[in-house]
C-alpha cells in the first residue's frame, strides 16, 4: 500500500508519494547494491533517476478529458527527488523496511480544471497494491480516492465540466430502458383524448418527480430505509391507472392530478438510481436539472411516437369517441399493463 498527495496549482500538479522500501526494491532491480535486504540513502541516491522514471511512467496524469475519459493531454512528468523517510516514524504503518518519499512535478499546457489519474504502481509485483490518493484543488477542496488494479483510473472534475450533457443522456437512456416507467406512460396514453392533454399530464409527472428526486439527491429525504416500499408503490400506481381505464374506458377526465401524485413516488425511485452517479459531483444542481430534462425528453419521445402509431390505426366507423386509442385497445392494453403492474408489485414486496 502507498499514499500520495496531489496539489494542483495553476498549470502544475505536485505529487508526494510515500511507498514501502520493499516495493521500490522489487521494481528497481539491483537497487540494494550490497544485498543486505535494506536500502540506505547512498543506494537510493545512486538509482534515484530510475525510481523517478518508474513513478513517472506508472503514475500518470491527464487534463482536459471528457466524462468518458477521452481526449485531453498527458501532463509532462518531472522527477524532483526520492529520499528515505524516517523508518521509525513508519513502524506503526507496517512498513517493515521503511519508506521512500518520491516528489514529482507534472505540467499541463493550460490551467488545470480537471484531472484524470492513472495509477499502476507496483502492480507487476503486487497485484493487490492500493494507493490512497488525496487531491487538493487550488480552492482548498480535497477529495480522496483509493486506486487499485481493479480501478486504476479516476477522473476528478470539481467544475462539473460536461455534467449537463452526461446527465441529460443518462436521464434519456434511463427512461427508455425503464420498463415500469414506460408502462406507466402507456397507461396514461390509453386514458387520454388528445396529445396536448397527454403532454400536460407527462409534464405534471416530470415536475412532481423532479421535486422528490431533488429532495432525495440533496439528502433532505432518505430513501434508503424504504426503497422497497417506494418500488412496490410505483408498481401499484401503474396497476391503478390501468385498472381505472379498464373499469371506466369512456372516462375522459384530466389525469394530471394523478400523474402529479404518482410522480412524487416515481421521483423517489429515480433517486435510488441516480444517487450513486451524483456522489462524485460537487455541484448537484446542474446534473439534477439535466437528468430531469433527459427524462422529460425521453417521455415526450415515447408518448408522441405511440400517439402517432395510434393515429394511423383504423377505427370502426361507429366509434366516434375522441380518444387517442380505440376502445378495444384501451381495454386490452390496460389489461396487459395491469398484469405487469401487479407482477412487479408482488415481485418487489
Residues in the chain, total: 349
In angstroms, what is the C-alpha Rg of the chain?
29
- Under-50 pLDDT residues of the chain: 87-94
Quote the pLDDT of residue 161: 66
Query: E strand or H helix at 143, and its extent?
Result: strand 142-148
Give the separation between CA 104 and CA 265, rounded to whole angstroms.
51
Give the separation between CA 222 and CA 70, rounded to whole angstroms.
35
Give the separation between CA 186 and CA 329, rounded to whole angstroms.
11
Give the separation between CA 55 and CA 79, rounded to whole angstroms.
8
Give the separation between CA 167 and CA 67, rounded to whole angstroms.
10
Side-chain-side CA neighbours of residue 264 (13 Å): 6
* C-beta contacts of 31-37 below 8 A and 24+ residues apart: 37/97
Quote the pLDDT of residue 89: 46
- Collapsing DSSP states into helix, strand and coil, what is residue 127? coil
Q: Are 269 and 231 in contact (CB under 8 A)?
A: yes
pTM for this predicted structure: 0.60
Quote the pLDDT of residue 90: 45
At 127, list the grid cell. Answer: 497485484
Residue whose grid cell is 387517442? 324
Give the separation between CA 187 and CA 292, rounded to whole angstroms.
21
Quote the pLDDT of residue 318: 63
Summarize pLDDT for 213-237 with one digit per residue, the tens.
888 777 777 766 677 888 898 899 8
Amino acid at each position: 500500500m502507498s499514499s500520495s498527495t496531489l496539489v494542483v496549482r495553476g498549470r502544475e500538479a505536485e505529487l508526494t508519494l510515500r511507498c514501502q522500501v520493499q516495493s521500490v526494491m522489487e521494481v528497481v532491480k539491483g537497487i540494494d547494491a550490497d544485498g543486505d535486504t535494506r536500502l540506505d540513502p547512498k543506494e537510493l541516491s545512486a538509482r534515484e533517476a530510475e525510481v523517478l522514471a518508474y513513478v513517472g511512467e506508472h503514475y500518470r496524469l491527464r487534463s482536459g478529458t471528457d466524462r468518458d475519459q477521452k481526449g485531453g493531454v498527458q501532463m509532462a512528468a518531472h522527477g524532483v527527488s526520492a529520499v528515505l523517510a524516517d523508518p521509525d516514524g513508519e513502524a506503526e504503518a507496517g512498513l517493515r523496511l521503511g519508506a521512500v518519499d518520491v516528489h514529482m512535478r507534472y505540467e499541463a499546457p493550460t490551467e488545470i480544471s480537471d484531472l484524470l489519474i492513472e495509477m499502476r504502481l507496483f502492480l507487476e509485483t503486487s497485484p493487490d497494491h492500493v494507493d490512497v490518493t488525496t487531491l487538493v484543488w487550488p480552492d482548498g477542496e480535497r477529495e480522496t480516492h483509493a486506486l487499485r488494479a481493479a480501478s486504476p483510473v479516476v477522473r476528478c472534475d470539481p467544475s462539473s465540466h460536461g455534467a449537463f450533457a452526461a446527465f441529460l443522456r443518462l436521464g434519456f437512456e434511463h427512461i427508455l430502458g425503464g420498463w415500469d416507467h414506460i408502462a406507466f406512460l402507456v397507461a396514461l396514453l390509453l386514458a387520454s383524448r388528445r396529445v396536448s392533454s397527454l403532454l400536460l399530464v407527462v409534464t405534471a409527472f416530470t415536475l412532481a418527480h423532479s421535486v422528490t428526486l431533488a429532495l432525495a439527491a440533496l439528502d433532505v429525504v432518505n430513501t434508503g430505509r424504504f426503497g422497497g416500499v417506494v418500488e412496490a408503490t410505483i408498481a401499484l400506481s401503474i396497476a391503478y391507472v390501468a385498472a381505472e381505464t379498464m373499469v371506466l374506458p369512456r372516462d375522459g377526465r384530466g389525469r394530471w392530478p394523478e400523474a402529479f401524485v404518482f410522480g412524487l413516488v416515481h421521483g423517489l425511485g429515480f433517486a435510488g438510481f441516480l444517487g450513486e452517479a451524483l456522489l462524485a459531483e460537487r455541484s448537484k444542481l446542474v446534473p439534477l436539472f439535466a437528468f430531469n430534462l433527459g427524462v422529460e425528453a425521453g417521455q415526450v419521445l415515447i408518448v408522441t411516437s405511440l400517439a402517432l402509431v395510434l393515429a394511423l390505426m383504423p377505427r370502426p366507423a361507429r366509434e366516434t369517441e375522441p380518444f387517442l386509442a380505440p376502445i378495444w385497445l384501451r381495454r386490452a392494453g390496460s389489461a396487459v399493463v395491469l398484469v405487469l403492474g401487479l407482477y412487479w408489485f408482488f415481485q418487489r414486496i
